[in-house]
Structure 1
Amino acid sequence: FYLVVIGWILYYACLSIAGLPASTDEAGKLFDSLIKNNLTSVLFCYFAVLFITFYTVSRGIKKGIEKLNFILMPSLFILLIVILIYSFTFNSSGFSGAVSFIFTPDFSKILDPELILAAMGLALFSLSLGVGTVSTYGASLGEDTNLFKSLLYIVVLNICMGILMGLVVFSFVQVAPGTSANEGPGLIFVSLASLFGELGVVGSALGFMFFISLLFAGITSAVSMIEPAVRYFEDEKSISRIKSSTILGVLVFGLGVLCVLSFYEPTKDSFAIFGKSIFDILDYATSNVLMPLGVLFFSIFAGWIMPKERFYTLFLNYAPKFAVDIWYFILRFILPILVVGIGIYKLN
């Protein structure tokens, strides 16, 4: 389902060159028509991003994933900075509104279970914690790597990139009357698309840079999510990386096509289960069930099954003992209780 969304982003990146719709009504009709009627375009864009993703994974960590990230991540950062500079210079009210929206706290909601769940889901998804990506990349690091410093870099950079993307999105969304921050796909493909469309040629350039930025971010994340499964088949089942990538690519392609057909008007009723589209079911199962369970199992393994001495061996050379002890306590007790508690609340 994630690659299907990235396919939509690719479509809008191409559409930005020709020009985006200039009103929210037109943008809404365009997006609705895309997912419900334009099967050829959706499948083509979906297959394109799927091919890029699995081809990159098949090349391995060094030749594929590392090289892709080396090119795309700096490009993503530069594109976002360019858009933000434009917003700060030519759309100062939108920029100040975005700063106010993001950085003005509402302490009355700090213990809201829905907010905690959303924050946890964002952390799990953006860092791919629940699908084994971090541990898979960690297995490829050298023995002399400072794990503690590397983890801090990852978290800080992830937060900074999230804030940067938030400033870019809400700098433009804030100027749209009646726009909500929780519109889901409509926020990007309707509200933002129409705002870029209103800006004419400049909007086309900004829209292209924005959707390309999203495309880069999406593909690098998708590559990270697929790597653990490929690595498992390669290491545990002695299946070559190329063959593993091909098998998984075919499986993912099939599931993605089901997601596409669950939106397509002539077939959506045939690909619905209990009134829910396959896309929505996979989305919910991944974000609310599988990733939290993955984090729960990882925390139990690292906190209760893996010897404590090994934990110390990994981190005491790079961090003070009191920091490692606090981290270890959170890993053993706080994180599992939090995940289980939130899960029970969500089920109720």
Structure 2
Amino acid sequence: MTQATSSSREHFGSRIGFVLAAAGAAVGLGNIWGFPTQAASNGGGAFLLVYLIMILIVAFPMLVVEMAIGRYGQANPVDSMRSLTNHPAGKNLGGLVGWIGLSVPCAVLAFYSIVGGWLICFLLGAVTDIFGFDTATAWFKGFSVERNLFGTLIFYVLTILIVQGGVKQGIEKWSTRLMPALFVLFGLLFVYIMTQAGAMEGLKHYLVPDFEKVLDRKLILAAMGQGFFSLTIGGCSMLIYGSYLSKKENLPKMAMNVTLVDTAVAFIAGLVVMPAMFVAMQKGVQIYAEDGSLLSSDTLVFTVLPLMFDSLGVLGQVFAAIFFLLLTIAALTSSISMLECPVSLVGERLGTKRGPTSWVLGGLIALFSAVIVFNFAQMFGFVAMVATQYLQPMAALLFCLFGGWVWNRHSKVKELEQGYPEFTQGWFGKLWPVYVKFVCPILVATVIWASFG
């Protein structure tokens, strides 16, 4: 059992383990599904360029804040937020902010695991398709309550099994296996898709920016929002993983590594999905509406790409299985970080063992997911909207205000000097405390305002 004290607190065993686990938490369907879709809807290369700038000026400084709060508090989100001040009222407020933050991974996991379940079913459907089991394939690829429930429960079991192993034996061990697998599978898919007719055109659309679109307000806001969600800012995962990071590590450097791995995955996803869309268009699949907007952007991964794979015969079926395996891995590396947040809180507060805590809490959130599955039309979109458009940006804003204004500058700088003694001598160290205090809240508020717009 892990106490909230730093001496007995479990830490990541290696730098690469931390970077891959934290990047895995950030890399989810937002990168592989959301990013290429956003790029396709917002002018390809222009969106990519603005997104890369936004990651550096919005998401990265906030990632440093969230990880620093976790490492300073050496505890779950609620207790870490409380540790930022000695003022009793401030402590209570910090605890409240922590609870709001903690509601994000729980709410996101409730709908995310349903999507994870679809991915598992599509993966199994691709496998049964290869072997010619038509009835099973139709069931796995169909949209029934039974199938959705089956997929969701399997996804929860996989998530819980990894989380109950703890930080080193569960999260780190599996992240260091799953993340490299993700890159290898992407590489295979990219090479394969580039051999198809129309792929080159898609690649050009993705990589060559139309500079006229770069300053488009809608595009800038979309890129800012995507960068923000891509690194799960306000989602508590980075805070909790930061609390498992050794004080000897250079925190800004680790945050930059996580940012780079996460951005690389989004970039590579675009390299695969965008050409695949153009290949599908060559095969007669309609992707864009008459006005140039993207059709079925929400279900792009489940409709357009399987149609492309289907049109390519047996090899296409094999690559469909690889593609859905890849998406399942990406979803799992995120879901384990979501479940870790409540598990760490209950374990630290009540002194419970990690195994049973993981199953009980995972089971409770799974029950909520089952309710969503049975009332899909009314609840799924609503829960997803509340979690990602309201709760997560609000939590991010509160983390930012607390990290910038309540946590005093001296204590903040001292935390970052651990493992990086010359922090205040560089331009980043001089600029960051002010930037977090004044600029970040404005940028986050802009993202929130845009989501209401």
TM-score by length of 1: 0.85
Change in Cα spacing, 1:119 to 1:247, as seen in structure 2 (3 Å) is farther
1:76 aligns with 2:189: no
Using the TM superposition, give the Cα deviation of residue 227 of structure 1 relative to its aligned residue in structure 2, in angstroms.
1.2
* Counterpart residue number, 2:169: 63
1:52 aligns with 2:158: yes
* Structure 2 counterpart of 1:335, one-letter code: C
* Counterpart residue number, 1:271: none
Using the TM superposition, give the Cα deviation of residue 126 of structure 1 relative to its aligned residue in structure 2, in angstroms.
2.7
* Structure 2 counterpart of 1:261, one-letter code: F
1:344 aligns with 2:449: yes
* Counterpart residue number, 1:136: 240
Change in Cα spacing, 1:307 to 1:321, as seen in structure 2 (3 Å) is farther
Mark the runs of 5 or more structure 2 residues left unpaired by the alignment: 1-110, 131-137, 289-293
CA distance in 2, matches of 1:117, 1:251: 36
Change in Cα spacing, 1:121 to 1:186, as seen in structure 2 (3 Å) is same
**CA distances 1:54-73 after superposition (whole Å, capped 9, x unpaired):** 22112211111111111111
Using the TM superposition, give the Cα deviation of residue 326 of structure 1 relative to its aligned residue in structure 2, in angstroms.
2.1
1:6 aligns with 2:112: no
**CA distances 1:193-230 after superposition (whole Å, capped 9, x unpaired):** 01001111110111111110000000001111221121
Does the 8 A contact of 1:147 with 1:318 survive in 2?
no
| Worse overlay, 308-317 or 186-195 | 308-317
**CA distances 1:20-54 after superposition (whole Å, capped 9, x unpaired):** 8xxxxxxxxx799833xx22222111100111102
SS at match of 2:198: helix
Change in Cα spacing, 1:211 to 1:32, as seen in structure 2 (3 Å) is closer
CA distance in 2, matches of 1:259, 1:318: 50
Aligned residues: 323
| Worse overlay, 49-58 or 245-254 | 245-254
Using the TM superposition, give the Cα deviation of residue 110 of structure 1 relative to its aligned residue in structure 2, in angstroms.
4.2
SS at match of 1:4: helix
* Structure 2 counterpart of 1:47, one-letter code: L
* Counterpart residue number, 1:333: 438
> What is the identity percentage for the equivalent residue pairs of Structure 1 and Structure 2?
28
* Counterpart residue number, 1:322: 427
CA distance in 1, matches of 2:178, 2:295: 27
**CA distances 1:214-247 after superposition (whole Å, capped 9, x unpaired):** 0000000111122112111222333332233223
Equivalent residue for 1:200, pick from 313, 317, 320: 313
Using the TM superposition, give the Cα deviation of residue 332 of structure 1 relative to its aligned residue in structure 2, in angstroms.
1.2
| Worse overlay, 172-181 or 310-319 | 310-319
Using the TM superposition, give the Cα deviation of residue 251 of structure 1 relative to its aligned residue in structure 2, in angstroms.
2.0
Change in Cα spacing, 1:19 to 1:170, as seen in structure 2 (3 Å) is farther
Using the TM superposition, give the Cα deviation of residue 304 of structure 1 relative to its aligned residue in structure 2, in angstroms.
1.0
Using the TM superposition, give the Cα deviation of residue 85 of structure 1 relative to its aligned residue in structure 2, in angstroms.
1.4
Does the 8 A contact of 2:309 with 2:316 survive in 1?
yes
Equivalent residue for 1:210, pick from 288, 312, 323: 323
CA distance in 1, matches of 2:280, 2:139: 18
SS at match of 2:249: coil
CA distance in 2, matches of 1:260, 1:231: 27
CA distance in 2, matches of 1:345, 1:79: 35
Does the 8 A contact of 2:393 with 2:447 survive in 1?
no
CA distance in 1, matches of 2:157, 2:323: 22
Equivalent residue for 1:91, pick from 196, 211, 218: 196
Does the 8 A contact of 2:197 with 2:279 survive in 1?
no
1:1-348 alignment, distance < 5 Å: 1-19=111-129, 34-35=142-143, 38-88=144-194, 90-91=195-196, 93-94=198-199, 96-110=200-214, 112-177=216-281, 178-180=286-288, 181=294, 183-263=296-376, 268=377, 277-316=378-417, 317=421, 319=423, 320-348=425-453
SS at match of 1:130: coil
CA distance in 1, matches of 2:338, 2:163: 10
**CA distances 1:297-318 after superposition (whole Å, capped 9, x unpaired):** 1111211111212222233426
CA distance in 2, matches of 1:248, 1:115: 39
* Structure 2 counterpart of 1:294, one-letter code: A
| Worse overlay, 74-83 or 337-346 | 337-346
| Worse overlay, 194-203 or 52-61 | 52-61
Change in Cα spacing, 1:2 to 1:331, as seen in structure 2 (3 Å) is same
CA distance in 2, matches of 1:7, 1:156: 28
Using the TM superposition, give the Cα deviation of residue 121 of structure 1 relative to its aligned residue in structure 2, in angstroms.
3.5
* Structure 2 counterpart of 1:297, one-letter code: L
| Worse overlay, 304-313 or 216-225 | 304-313
TM-score by length of 2: 0.67
